[in-house]
Structure 1
Amino acid sequence: MSKALFIIDVQNDFTEGGALGVDGGAAVAAGISKLLAQHPNRYSHVFASRDWHDPESDNGGHISAEPDYVNTWPPHCIAGTPGAEYHPDLDLTAVDVHVRKGQGVPAYSIFEGTTDEGASVGATLDSLGITDIDVAGIATDYCVRASALDAVEAGRHVRVLADLAAGVAADSSAAALVELEAAGIEIVEAAR
């Protein structure tokens, strides 16, 4: 049994003051760093994803000057900009697999991205023998939700670390956690 942590989109544009900042985003960055520092052997591999949108494209209709905040969004996490970078409170020392997603297309799940080596996340999990995945990051009601659902669909045992995730809105985040539990995903605190 091999266990991985997925750190989902802990980026400047998704934390306070960013283009699509959520309340509690900076605390999630610091909390994940604390977890990894206090439990350096908990995970055999740590994956971190980033939205990485093409600057010269609407990214498949994902980015719009007149966003509806359901299917279209204002410009965010544009490749090469400070907003696309990891939040400075996220210590990247333990991260050994970096994933970029949304390169020219809409993408919410880490499984829709590719590693820096160009591999799919599913193939990387298989090659590393990962059977269990904890998921943390931003946003509970969007990319954390999509990544956790895809991980369980890929046959992994999945837990969402609810205290290390921040969502866009309280109601949609609560609904996402209920949906995830119904899909067989455990909702836990990071200390467990």
Structure 2
Amino acid sequence: MGKGLLIVDVQNDFTEGGALAVDGGDAAAEAITRLLAEHAADYRLIVASRDWHDADGDNGGHFSPDPDYVDSWPVHCVAGTPGAEYDPLLATDAITHHVKKGQGKPAYSMFEGTTDAGETVAQLLDAAGVTEVDVVGIATDYCVRATSLDAIAHGRHVRVLTGCVAGVAEDSSERALAELAHAGAELMDS
């Protein structure tokens, strides 16, 4: 019975000053870095995801000049740009696997992405014997929510470390956390 850490989308475009900045994004990056400094050895696997959208086209309708902020968004996290890179406040040396998601299409859960070698998150967790995951990152009400729900659907016990997340809005983040708790996730202050 092993434990893994899933770090969701702690990227420049989602932290303060980015194209889709989330208030508290930098603070979440710093909290995750502290978590890694103190507890990286507790995890068999540490997987970090990045939104990684194609530079050309609308990425399956994900990019829009007139976004609805539900299914369509302004241009963000374009592959190879500074906005798609990890926030510099996130220490990445303990990360064992990097996943890119959203290449040419919308993707919210890191389970929709792959490593450069083509491995999915579910495959990585299975190979490492990981049955429990801690989930942290950005944004609580979108990609953290989707990743956590997928982890539950893949049979993992999920803990959302609430001191290591940041959401787009307080109300929608509270609803997402309530939904996750109802689905079986543990909400833990970190």
Structure 1 length as normaliser, TM-score? 0.97
Instruction: Compute the displacement of 1:116 (Å).
Output: 2.1
Gapped regions of structure 1 (runs ≥ 5)? none
Q: Given that residues 8 and 48 in structure 1 are in contact (C-alpha distance below 8 angstroms), is that contact kept between their aligned partners in structure 2?
A: yes
Residue 113 of structure 1: aligned partner: 113
* Aligned-partner residue type, residue 124 of structure 1: L
Instruction: Compute the displacement of 1:70 (Å).
Output: 1.0
Gapped regions of structure 2 (runs ≥ 5)? none
Q: Given that residues 45 and 125 in structure 2 are in contact (C-alpha distance below 8 angstroms), is that contact kept between their aligned partners in structure 1?
A: no
- Alignment RMSD, CA only? 0.7
Structure 2 length as normaliser, TM-score? 0.98
Instruction: Compute the displacement of 1:151 (Å).
Output: 0.1
* CA–CA distance in structure 2, aligned partners of residues 164 and 156 of structure 1: 19
**Structure-to-structure mapping, 1:175-186, within 5 angstroms:** 175-186=175-186
Residue 18 of structure 2: aligned partner: 18
Residue 141 of structure 1: aligned partner: 141
* CA–CA distance in structure 1, aligned partners of residues 40 and 74 of structure 2: 37
**Deviation string, structure 1 residues 137-162 (Cα, Å, up to 9, x no partner):** 00000000000000001000100001
* Aligned-partner residue type, residue 42 of structure 2: R
Instruction: Judge which range, 89-98 or 113-122, deviates more.
Output: 113-122
Residue 59 of structure 2: aligned partner: 59
* Aligned-partner residue type, residue 179 of structure 1: E
Please give the secondary structure, in 2, of the residue aligned with 1:40. Answer: helix
Instruction: Compute the displacement of 1:134 (Å).
Output: 0.3
* CA–CA distance in structure 1, aligned partners of residues 40 and 178 of structure 2: 30
Q: Given that residues 97 and 116 in structure 1 are in contact (C-alpha distance below 8 angstroms), is that contact kept between their aligned partners in structure 2?
A: no
Q: Which runs of 4+ in 1 moved over 3 A?
A: none
Instruction: Compute the displacement of 1:189 (Å).
Output: 1.1
1:163 is the counterpart of 2:167: no
**Deviation string, structure 1 residues 58-95 (Cα, Å, up to 9, x no partner):** 11000111111111000000000000000000000100
* CA–CA distance in structure 2, aligned partners of residues 117 and 90 of structure 1: 23
* Aligned-partner residue type, residue 6 of structure 2: F
**Percent same amino acid at aligned positions?**
62
Instruction: Compute the displacement of 1:123 (Å).
Output: 1.3
Residue 38 of structure 1: aligned partner: 38
**Structure-to-structure mapping, 1:55-134, within 5 angstroms:** 55-134=55-134
**Deviation string, structure 1 residues 85-142 (Cα, Å, up to 9, x no partner):** 0000000010011000000010000000001211111111111111100000000000
Matched residues, number = 190
* CA–CA distance in structure 2, aligned partners of residues 108 and 90 of structure 1: 20
* Aligned-partner residue type, residue 23 of structure 2: D
